[in-house]
Amino acid sequence: MSVLGDVRKLVADLHAELPRNDLVVWTAGNVSARVPGEDLLVIKPSGVSYDEITADAMVVTDLDGNLVEGDHKPSSDTAAHAYVYKHMPHVQGVVHTHSTYATAWSARGEAIPCVLTMIADEFGGEIPVGPFALIGDDSIGRGIVETLRHHRSPAVLMRNHGVFTIGRSARDAVKAAVMCEDVARTVHIARQLGAPIPIPQGDIDSLFARYQNVYGQEPVA
C-alpha cells in the first residue's frame, strides 16, 4: 500500500473511535491527518455517515483546502484543519467534535480549569477557550492556531462551537479529544458539589513533564 493509502486507512479507522467514545452524533465531527512529506491532508467527506466511512471514501486536499483526490466533497471543517497544518508544522493530526460536556463549556466561553492530575498530564494546564468564528473559511483555523500557540494544551474549546484537538499523530489528536470530554464531564460534576481545588503551577509542570516524557513503555529496539 502507498503512503497515501496508509493515511487514508488510518484516518478511516480512527473515525470509529469518535462514536465509540460518544464524542459525535449523526455525521458531525471529523478526523484528519497530514500526508508525510507532502503539503496534503486526508479528511472525512462532508455529511457521510460513520457507518459508510471507508479508506476509499476519504478525500485528499491541499493545505488551502482544495480537493486533490476523492469522489466526495470534503468536510465543511476542511479549511480549519488545513490552516492548522499550514501554520503549525509539528501537527500531524487534527480532530473536531461537538462532544457534550466539553461543548457545554465552550457554550459558556469558559476554560476547563486544571483541577485534576489527568488535565495536568495531558493538557499541561487549563483547556483554553478560542474565539467565536463562523464555519466556511479559515476563521476557525486562525482561532485554533492563535489560541494553541500560547498553550501546552492540545485541545481548544472554540466558543459556541465545539472542540478541536491537535497531535503529533492523528491518534494522539483522537486521544486528546477523548480525554478532553472525560475531564470536562468530571470537572462539571465536581462543580455541582462545590468549588474544585486548583493544582499549583509547579505541580502541574511536574505532572506534565512526567506524563509526556516518562509515562508508558520504551520503544522496542
How does DSSP assign 75-89, residue by residue? PTTHHHHHHHHHH-T
**Calpha distance 170→42 (Å, rounded):** 10
**DSSP secondary structure letter of residue 23:** -
- By the 8 A CB rule, do 183 and 118 touch? yes
C-alpha distances in angstroms, 219 versus 2, 58, 167, 216? 25, 30, 19, 9
**Calpha distance 51→193 (Å, rounded):** 39
Residue 205 bears catalytic tag:
no
- In the set 77, 121, 138, 172, the catalytic residue is 121
**Calpha distance 163→51 (Å, rounded):** 22
195 Cβ neighbours under 8 A, 6+ residues apart: none
Residue 85 bears catalytic tag:
no
**Calpha distance 55→168 (Å, rounded):** 21
Q: Which one-letter amino acid corresponds to residue 174?
A: V
Please report where in the chains the cell 503529533 appears, as a residue: 168
Residues belonging to the active site: 121, 215
